[in-house]
Structure 1
Amino acid sequence: MAEVGVAAEDELTAGAPAPDLLSLHETIAGMFAKQGDWRRAYEHLRSALDIARAGSLRDTLTSSYNRRYLDQRLPGLPAARGLAVALIDLDRFKHVNDTYGHLLGDRVLCRVADLLQEELPPDGFCARYGGEEFALVLPGVDAPRAVRIVEAARTRVARHPWSELQPGLRVTISAGLAHASAGPVSAQRQLLRADNLLYAAKRAGRNKVAYHDRETTHVITHSE
């Protein structure tokens, strides 16, 4: 029986597919428990728990973080060194689903998530906020840099060769960017400000980034 347990553990370390790691750890833990090797059984159960916990914070479709992770992480981030939150929405995504089908729509969501996660600062992260909405959280950046990061993400999406997925397909995003740099700012207020700015970007014609300084709301204009 011991040989079976070692063989299974070797299979794990040899690189089993990631989706099977949870069940594999649980199986190996059961094998070691039957042998009375409680220490090694416990180690594999802890690994299974870590995998399950990490999986609960990831969006199952896009593999980006999910709303639960955002709700847990955002309130603990300090604004003293700058904290930017951008809410991003895919423009006319219902038209994509209605025209090309939900399977291609899912592929679009995955590709957009990948593009949004490029070139983020070290502590920054992307989370799927819900449906076709994503949140970019950028700790430790000043307002001008936050604008550059979000505008670069918008540009990557707009210039991506979407026709390679489906001829005629075009995908753009709109973004509302809220920035805080001093004093306590609640996560809920930060998200609400970003959401209001997102609608300003939509009203301005979509495929735009809206942000607010001390005096007024700005919408980045461009030609794509």
Structure 2
Amino acid sequence: MTALRPETAETQQADAPVDRQGPGLVALHESIATLLASRGQWRQAYQHLRSALDLVHADQVEEPHVPEQLRREVELLRREHAEAREQSLRDSLTDSYNRRYLDQRLMDLLTEHGACRHGLAIALIDLDWFKQVNDTFGHLLGDRVLQRVVELLQQGLPEGAFCARYGGEEFVLVLPRVDAATAVEIAEAARERVERHPWQDVAPGLRVTVSAGLAYEPAADEAPERPAVGAEQQLLRADSLLYTAKQSGRNAVAYRADGRVRLAGAASGRRAIDETRVLGYY
């Protein structure tokens, strides 16, 4: 029988197809019981498990007809389960992914990146002077700014890429299976969209820009001698580059290429960059 543990519901039963050929009542009762248990509805889960056990002990030669009501109940529970899981991985204000999802996906991607054709880029993005926005225009408008910035950051992302809220006014763009040059183009395009957005339409006198640090981890076949890094180390590299972008005058994307720290786009002509805090590169 299926174990009624909430932590196994999603991996063992919640994603199993309902309409596979000949699902019988026993399997349906077990599915319902598992999904109910994952939501903490132990009494209802027990009732369905009891029904499944009764059918098993009845020693029936042929499976009985599966009532349509049970099929609908399974589908409804699975939809609710999937929706609840998705909500648990989203930031409630901006609807971007949250830190929990970011940590999970980065761990998976950095484990898998050696098998990818290209590499993995992480852009740590921070709103410039955001405290002044809150102090001048109020926190409600500040929340609207955060929501709009996320919408702008997410525009045109390639397949598999996503935006997550790192904390406060910091966000992360995760760009898997891209090369270094493409990652710089994507991050710079996102920065430019934020700068060029008509913020005056949101509030007279409002101006919003972002700074970003872009860390790139090549695939194993691109740099076989380079030791693998973990999610925390790559985020630290992105944070160091974000510091450089801020020190250079803000509203810039800092990245590393050919052994040097550089600024993308219009910011590339600025003064020399202080590399003292850019850590851990090979």
1:100 aligned to which of 137, 159, 166:
137
Aligned length, in residue pairs: 192
CA-CA distance at 1:41 after TM superposition: 2.5
Q: What's the CA shift string for 1:143-195, capped at 9, x where partnerless?
A: 01100000000000000000000000000000000001134321111111001
Q: What's the CA shift string for 1:96-118, capped at 9, x where partnerless?
A: 00000000000000000000001
Match of 2:266, SS? coil
CA-CA distance at 1:212 after TM superposition: 1.1
Match of 1:79, SS? helix
> What is the match of residue 9 of structure 1?
none
> What is the match of residue 240 of structure 2?
196
- Contact 2:120–2:219 (CA under 8 A) maintained in structure 1: no
Match of 1:73, SS? helix
> Within 1, Cα distance between the matches of 2:79 and 2:219?
40
1:127 aligned to which of 164, 170, 190:
164
Mapping of residues 12-31 of structure 1, within 5 Å:
none
> Within 1, Cα distance between the matches of 2:74 and 2:153?
38
Q: Does 1:141 align with 2:173?
A: no
> Within 2, Cα distance between the matches of 1:63 and 1:57?
9
CA-CA distance at 1:38 after TM superposition: 4.2
Larger Rg belongs to: 2
Q: Does 1:208 align with 2:252?
A: yes
> What is the match of residue 150 of structure 2?
113
- Contact 2:188–2:265 (CA under 8 A) maintained in structure 1: no
- Contact 1:79–1:185 (CA under 8 A) maintained in structure 2: no
Name stretches of at least 5 consecutive residues in structure 1 with no aligned partner: 1-25
Name stretches of at least 5 consecutive residues in structure 2 with no aligned partner: 1-38, 49-67, 221-227, 268-282
Name whichever of 44-53 and 140-149 sits farther off: 44-53
Give the share of equivalent positions with the same residue, in percent. 61
The two structures have a TM-score, normalised by structure 1, of 0.81
**Runs ≥4 in structure 1, deviation > 6 angstroms?**
none
1:75 aligned to which of 107, 110, 132:
107
Q: Does 1:156 align with 2:193?
A: yes
Q: What's the CA shift string for 1:118-151, capped at 9, x where partnerless?
A: 1111111111111100000000111011000000
Please provide the CA RMSD for this pair: 2.1
The two structures have a TM-score, normalised by structure 2, of 0.65
